[in-house]
Structure 1
């Protein structure tokens, strides 16, 4: 009989859960990271476009390399990856010369395709089921797509629809409450509620960052993108240090393996498909 390890498909190598538990701390850092990514990308672009591209691409590649090679969840490594994807995702959304509507539609289709492929291949989109290399790759591809889509969506409401930064921020604040409300009162699934809210964190955080940093003649407060980026970075570092010290955001072991998990992942009782909690 073939061993359980030999039955693993390419990309099925089991790994420990390397994403945090979904708590209020998670959502706070996530929203801050989106604002920081927006402000940082805009600040670097204002200094030098080549510098911005180099920092965005190199930071993106380095952060993912560190995250993928780590053997367990480390708050500093995980959130560094999220922050660098936020910077790179802003540049990706601002890159194609197809306008804000075109970018929004394009990245919405990209995100839908990634989620469809992930679910078709793995049978679940639960953040608690990311216990193989392949699922980890799907997860980070999805995160990048959500950043690009959220950036395009925020620019669409603020600029193309002329709502401005503050009005857009307040609108997305209301929108992000919808998945939680639908989950609580209308039985929306945990996984669907999580990803719906996750997408909205990007335009929410970015709109507030733009409102704080952009000049007054553009309906901002004029603090400057560099200042907003620095302030957000300080707060993020403090919260991540707290998470690393307390380990309050580490996923608890789950006894039931995710549907379709084979080989060693099943034998070790890796994280199951209990869904995304704490929304």
Structure 2
């Protein structure tokens, strides 16, 4: 029995299941294409898009904190918005402040590591099965934001600066994730480390997939466009959230002792 269960406090984030990873991948893919659509196709510009989406994210996070437990709709709305904002943070540093992607990657890596260190020092655990207090949830969402910003910078660095292209970059990160899962399965990495590494690397994997589908063929994509790509993944996300809400009430969630982290 976990400490959270013993104290009778519900976990505020979802159990780690197959549909968790599926919807997370869809969310990060949509985050990449939706940010491009709003800033470029709708003509809002990077600054205005960042301000609007940041305001929506603050509202979504406030609603998420108000639940005091995991509610699929509020949680995944927050994830989708933080995915978009994480993309915009990196884009602002690159396009508006001319910060090299190499520097952004290092900065966000350090920020993420420091957040984990402070979280561990304060709470003695990094497990997502013990997000039962507001302070732990603050650390959780801060790490999520940094993983999205880091994943965007790292994905763009490899696909664009290093010239790998979107499809090859996606394949590289898929292989990396596969290697992490294999290391976990043979007992070389712990559950918490495995979860967070997979969470980080699914961001550039999803971003590469989104760019490959949305970007025109001249840029190495399939040319579906950002609006159709974003809508497609939004519909998939909505369908999975409905499934989670109907078939998996928080009280009947999988045992927190099972799964990664």
Shift of 1:48: 1.3
Supply the distance in 2 between the matched residues of 1:185 and 1:230 (Cα, whole angstroms): 39
Supply the distance in 1 between the matched residues of 2:222 and 2:158 (Cα, whole angstroms): 18
Shift of 1:185: 1.4
Q: 1:159 to 1:250 in 2, by over 3 A?
A: farther
Supply the distance in 1 between the matched residues of 2:250 and 2:183 (Cα, whole angstroms): 25
Supply the distance in 1 between the matched residues of 2:155 and 2:143 (Cα, whole angstroms): 18
- Higher Rg: 1
Of 33, 57, 61, which residue of structure 2 is paired with 1:39?
33
Shift of 1:16: 2.3
Of 64, 77, 83, which residue of structure 1 is paired with 2:80?
83
Supply the distance in 2 between the matched residues of 1:248 and 1:63 (Cα, whole angstroms): 21
SS of 1:18's equivalent in the other structure is: coil
Q: Does the 8 Å CA contact 1:20/1:251 hold for their aligned counterparts?
A: no
What does 1:177-256 align with in structure 2 at a 5 Å threshold?
Answer: 177-247=178-248, 252=253
- Describe the superposition over 1:156-212 as per-residue Cα deviations: whole angstroms up to 9, x where unpaired: 011011000000011111111122111111431000000000000100001000000
Q: 1:212 to 1:253 in 2, by over 3 A?
A: closer
- Describe the superposition over 1:36-61 as per-residue Cα deviations: whole angstroms up to 9, x where unpaired: 01100011110211441233112211
What runs of 5+ residues in structure 2 fail to find an aligned partner? 1-6
Q: State the partner residue of 1:24.
A: 18
1:48 correspondence with 2:60: no
1:65 correspondence with 2:62: yes
CA RMSD of aligned residues (A): 1.9
Supply the distance in 1 between the matched residues of 2:207 and 2:147 (Cα, whole angstroms): 13
What does 1:261-272 align with in structure 2 at a 5 Å threshold?
Answer: none
Q: 1:173 to 1:144 in 2, by over 3 A?
A: same
Q: State the partner residue of 2:170.
A: 169
SS of 2:186's equivalent in the other structure is: helix
- Describe the superposition over 1:234-265 as per-residue Cα deviations: whole angstroms up to 9, x where unpaired: 110001100010016767487xxxxxxxxxxx
SS of 2:11's equivalent in the other structure is: coil
Q: 1:102 to 1:251 in 2, by over 3 A?
A: farther
Shift of 1:33: 0.2
* Structure 1 stretches of 4+ moved >2 Å: 13-16, 248-254
Q: Does the 8 Å CA contact 1:24/1:278 hold for their aligned counterparts?
A: no
Q: State the partner residue of 2:4.
A: none
- Describe the superposition over 1:30-88 as per-residue Cα deviations: whole angstroms up to 9, x where unpaired: 00000001100011110211441233112211110110111321101000000000000
The structure where helix makes up a greater share of residues is 2
Q: Does the 8 Å CA contact 1:17/1:251 hold for their aligned counterparts?
A: no
What is the TM-score of this pair, normalised by structure 2? 0.90
